[in-house]
Structure 1
Amino acid sequence: MLAWSLLGRLPAAMCPIGTLLMVSQHTGSVWRASAVTGALALGQATGGPLVGRAADRRGQRRVGLAAAALNTVALLALVTASQLRAALGWQLLFAAVAGLSVPLVGPLARSRWLWLADGRAEQASAALWLDGLMDEVSFTTGPAVVGLLASLLAPAAGMLLAAALAGVCATLFALHPSAPPSIAATGGRPRPPARLLTAPYGLLLAGMALLGVAFGSIQVGVTATTAHVGHPGAAGPIYGLMGGASACAGIAMAALPARFDLPARLRAATALLLSAALLLPLVGGTLGGLAAAVGCVGLAVAPQMITMFGLVERTVPTARLGEAMAGLVSSITLAQAAGTVAAGWLVAAAGPAAPFTVTCVAAGSALLLAAATATARRYARPAAAPARRAQVRA
């Protein structure tokens, strides 16, 4: 399952930058490319919880297969519309459908790992750590692969690869025997859905959204700063440092003692995020200083994301876990788009370093939120439930 999980989640990381590059190069209009990319992001943020909820109710296999097929067709239609320079409305439509139908391999994999762990805290923690690490790898690798294919082959090459990965790897992930069965398959009767939007889950959504704002503003700030100092090509490698440092931090989390519980980890990670964010406006005027500051920010990303995904397990009903994981992804996606828009406006109004102000405000707000709400009492681990099933081969 590991291979299909890693490869199947790459399209979600590849498509935003791939769409931006493809449409801008085919039309010569950054505005049109931004509009199509925005439609993709809005569709993904809207469709994520819907796909997650359907997977929880009807089973990951059935929903995953349908989503993979529809996503593949929509991506191919978007590439074709861009190649033929079709009307903007058609490109917006296909981008929105592609976003709505993302197979959600990442969130469903986290739900699947927790289902296999069957309430065993140590196994669940290790599974979330491993899955968070795969997210960081896809987050770093996806945009880099798209940029490389666009420069060596064609602007649409990255999107075609994303469609192939969605069609093949997301399908194989859905078919893997580790997929949890639907309620009907286990002989149970559907019950009214348990409440999802509780106060603790809402706080996690807010925390993930603030992290998304930081992502979006850093991306714009790095792009604007490297262009201002005359090295626009350095933006990609410098931004990639965040993903690389984040992956290293995710690996290091395996060494943390169990007594350092999740609420305490969240508070520590957000404090580190703010400390690193404050470096950006101070030393970000040079390429070396910018690279170092962005790398420091990356050290806080994986611990924060992995911890929040771990806390979701304690705050939502098991029957809606996939939907809850997808909701966190949608939260960060929408917030990243908002952070990008706000930072872009600040670049025009106040200069290339202005977006880092947005980053600092978002990080400071995240720390205040975590310090005030991330307590062991609020996120107490529920009592272990009896085993649900016989051993499932993973």
Structure 2
Amino acid sequence: MYKHDQRTVMTLDAGGTNFVFSAICGNQDIVTPICYPAVSDNLEECLTVLHRGFSQVKEQLEDEPVAISFAFPGPADYKNGIIGDLPNFPAFRGGVALGPFLKEKFGIPVFINNDGNLFAYGEALAGILPSVNEELEAAGNPKRYRNLLGITLGTGFGAGVVIDNCLLTGDNGCGGDVWIMRNKKYTDLIAEESVSIRAVRRVYGELSGETIENLMPKDIYDIAEGTRTGNREAALKSFDELGEMAGAAIVSALHIVDGMVVIGGGVSGAAKYILPGMMREMRRSISTFSGRDFDCLQMEVCNLMEADDHKRFLENTSTWVQVPFTKREILYNHTKRIGVAISTLGASKAIALGAYAFALQQIDRKYKG
């Protein structure tokens, strides 16, 4: 979807340190990105940087852009483009109408969302979903996937949900939020306390007894790899526990979403140490008072990063059943499966493509409605 669209949308990668401005047409970057330091503590200077960055992108374009679309940290009233009290952007305290400000400056629609939502949307329209469906078609399997849970592992625990090509935002802009789900291990805490950069560092410190002040997840990953001195067992456990805790939240979400799972974000680089704990949690059993056991998910969970699981996921197990009292047959798909994969687009690219697609979808919906 939108791969061959000729409309142009200006985008922004809004990090805590830098703002990177660009533009997309037909799912491709079409300008040289422009980077400015993010001014987090002075509203006037921050807005000046945003205006300057988008203005310089626009100067590079041959055609007029139809919209501006990007991810920005919350809390926010994304529908109305108002950014709330951001911990890392004190300049936005009290609520700032960022979307209306940019619309006033450039005279085009402005769409702002959170990175989890746009990551999921990019993966659904240009990443894992079309890729998986192409593989299923090549394998002669009639099954197709239309729903997706996108998970980002990094500073926080982010997520987004796409249902039948539509991004689930919710009536209050909270659709797909998993960070605030109940923590499996510490039931009075939020899930993000065990699924984040700070969680990896904390668990490593608890298990190793080492000072973690200067350690980041990449350092702990290197310890797990054996390329850096440290407590390897503690390093492995810190990623495994993150996977288990994330898996518990993902299980809860999948009871509603029932679709593919794709994982991205900086910490996903340690996927080979995270996925075992995640898969173990997603495949565990639960019981009734009578002692009857059930798999915690109705669907068989396949780790698409493992060859045997990937092969089994693509297998066509459908059979033909006869319509009673007729000679007609109907295809019966009696196997319920979902796949878990690591993003091949990367979070930044998926978010940009999600921002592009979301803007065009909203514009199309407005003119069709």
Please give the TM-score of this superposition, normalised by the length of structure 2: 0.29
Please give the TM-score of this superposition, normalised by the length of structure 1: 0.28
Q: Hey, which of these two has a bigger chunk of strand by percent? A: 2
Larger Rg: 2
Greater RCO (Cα-Cα under 8 Å, separation 6 or more):
1
